[in-house]
Structure 1
């Protein structure tokens, strides 16, 4: 296998996956749009943030489930969806559409066959219209995500991650999570996230990953999409992308300090065939 050495090569593979996703979604009437650093890159750089190599998209839960069925492991497609419904070993609450001609190994050491991927986050409806209405649900998901993350780590990794010293209480807490199992936690997360449908909801958000309250927003922000340029292509973005980016990043057109312009991903990747 030939190792994928440069950030530019990783970006090119991820971009090819996004080109496929865009065409596939158009052909099957599915909705997606760029989010997070991908959307920021489209607006500020008209492409990748120079020091970033990943791509993130959101899909409404219903369309996320459809694309899971259409691009499963038996689809025969070069680009396939992997999530908790397609792989028993998978340990994330969101999905990834991966290039099966590549192989990727994450430093976290999750077992299973993965390739270079685009992260696909399903978004769901939220109760009510104010933060106090949906905050308890989101915080519950955040807590469950913390439990899931720790359940995947060794005791030493757990202590290092929390920057804490070992004691009987810490060990018992880690062991309880480990015995309960990340798979069971993931299923609970998934069930909880599906509590409220997107249709008819005033607020929506990606709560399956238990990430942050900042990802929750009025449904009107993402109800319609528009096209933005990204690396010479035009991809879908939420029509309210300015609201989204300001909520997430504040002054999003301002570049971060140079010392913060680093890649945060920890993995190695190869082409399966040279």
Structure 2
């Protein structure tokens, strides 16, 4: 842990003790839960901490503090919209006032500006689709109205945002005539009208991104080791992580994809030493009105900006779309030859212009479509699948489905992607031996040479092996798959484990060391640590120094 993480960990320990004393249930959330489930520690780059808590449990915590039933430690505050003027945030914070972590959106209230742990409040959702749509509409309006500093719901489509902005201005006019608190209170009542025990899904009250989870995934919580101490995660935390981070949740992102937060951080100086330098000179009410006026103006021009941005992306696509398509058609023989030779890196190089443009964030944001032939699409999909990246293939296929019906050949690829995903869920989310047995039996003959099939077969026999003969057979099996996929760290890790079980510790250490540098699968990294003491995650920490 770095110094920021050590302080956050201390705050978590305090919250844990407080919640235990009042029979309050919470769960580790976000990147905190991700680090715990993968490697039982902080993500190396993590500089904040999130907890899930249901609306009812949050009310118990808030009431216990407000009533004096529990006393917070020195230099601690529980900050939320109802007890802090100008704190325009639906997410409460447990704050260390002896430190500093100032975000631009919290400069005006000047209170929740120390190192903090955030409580992500979960509300039960209606089960009926029409009522669910109304719930999400109210949620978006609540989060938009409560925040004067920036446009919250930017991820909506242009058409949906136009309706959202119209409704916002209508409700804001009511708020100006009556009061903003009255409007927010009315929306809050609508959002908290479902009975938790009857709801199948829970929604996090955030707004920037609509995060919906299966209620059953939280359950009664389960303890997980986190930096040497047990803390609660959802009963089916892996399912929560899959909902939040996608099918590749078990993989540690490359450094350039690791998200850090932009805040003024100081672990040694109280935030008041900073805020007192500007707070006395700020007319907060006047500044708040300026923020709201600016936001109203931003809402008015937001769609125009988005439409202009969309036109620019479409214009670029119009210029290069046919060139990309024709170049791929001309190289189709090379694509086939490289694919059949398992030279998947070479195939990816041929597709580079296509992938960079089709998967560009703006092309995806505005559904700008780069049409290529079914055969060209087939090879980019199968290349991803052959490399154990079915989730990447699914992204390409989703774009295709949004723009045209899938051919019979591509429907077969979709079936294969679904199969690979089922394998992943059975292994990582449920540790389900019987389900993997069933899926391996169901596999079509042409699927049995795929990397994900091999990984599943090795996973199953790793779970079932007991005798020396079992491990010798597992070693033979792993050697076969390692010959087919010599650069796959996950396959190599199974070979390493079989060598270890057969008493070949030196070979196992060498294989594990190679394996953890061929994969970014955090579960494999943790297995190498448990089996032979190799700390791959430490290298990620070193990169942050």
The counterpart of 1:263, out of the listed 247, 253, 260, is 260
Does residue 53 (structure 1) correspond to residue 47 (structure 2)? The answer is yes
The counterpart of 2:140, out of the listed 136, 139, 142, is 142
CA contact (8 A) 1:125 1:203 kept: yes
Does residue 210 (structure 1) correspond to residue 207 (structure 2)? The answer is yes
The counterpart of 2:241, out of the listed 239, 245, 257, is 245
SS in 2 for 1:71: helix
Offset, 1:136: 3.2
Structure number with greater Rg is 2
Structure with more helix by fraction:
2
SS in 2 for 1:122: strand
Offset, 1:14: 1.0
Q: Aligned-pair RMSD on alpha carbons? A: 3.2
Name which of structure 1's ranges 140-149 and 57-66 shifts more when overlaid on structure 2: 140-149
CA contact (8 A) 1:61 1:123 kept: yes
TM-score (norm 2): 0.41
Name which of structure 1's ranges 94-103 and 45-54 shifts more when overlaid on structure 2: 94-103
CA distance in 1, matches of 2:71, 2:20: 19
Higher RCO, Cα 8 Å, sep 6+: 1
Structure with more strand by fraction:
1
Q: 1:226 to 1:99 in 2, by over 3 A?
A: same
CA distance in 2, matches of 1:57, 1:92: 16
- Residue 152 of structure 1 corresponds to 149
- Residue 229 of structure 1 corresponds to 225
- Residue 492 of structure 2 corresponds to none
- Residue 14 of structure 1 corresponds to 8
CA contact (8 A) 1:84 1:90 kept: yes
TM-score (norm 1): 0.77
CA contact (8 A) 1:152 1:182 kept: no
Offset, 1:191: 3.2
Offset, 1:33: 0.4
Unpaired runs of 5+ residues, structure 2, are 156-164, 272-545
CA contact (8 A) 2:138 2:191 kept: no
Offset, 1:95: 0.6
CA distance in 2, matches of 1:132, 1:211: 22
- Residue 194 of structure 2 corresponds to 196
Q: 1:258 to 1:101 in 2, by over 3 A?
A: closer
CA distance in 2, matches of 1:261, 1:202: 32
Unpaired runs of 5+ residues, structure 1, are 1-6, 163-169
Offset, 1:189: 5.0
- Residue 117 of structure 1 corresponds to 116
CA contact (8 A) 2:103 2:263 kept: yes
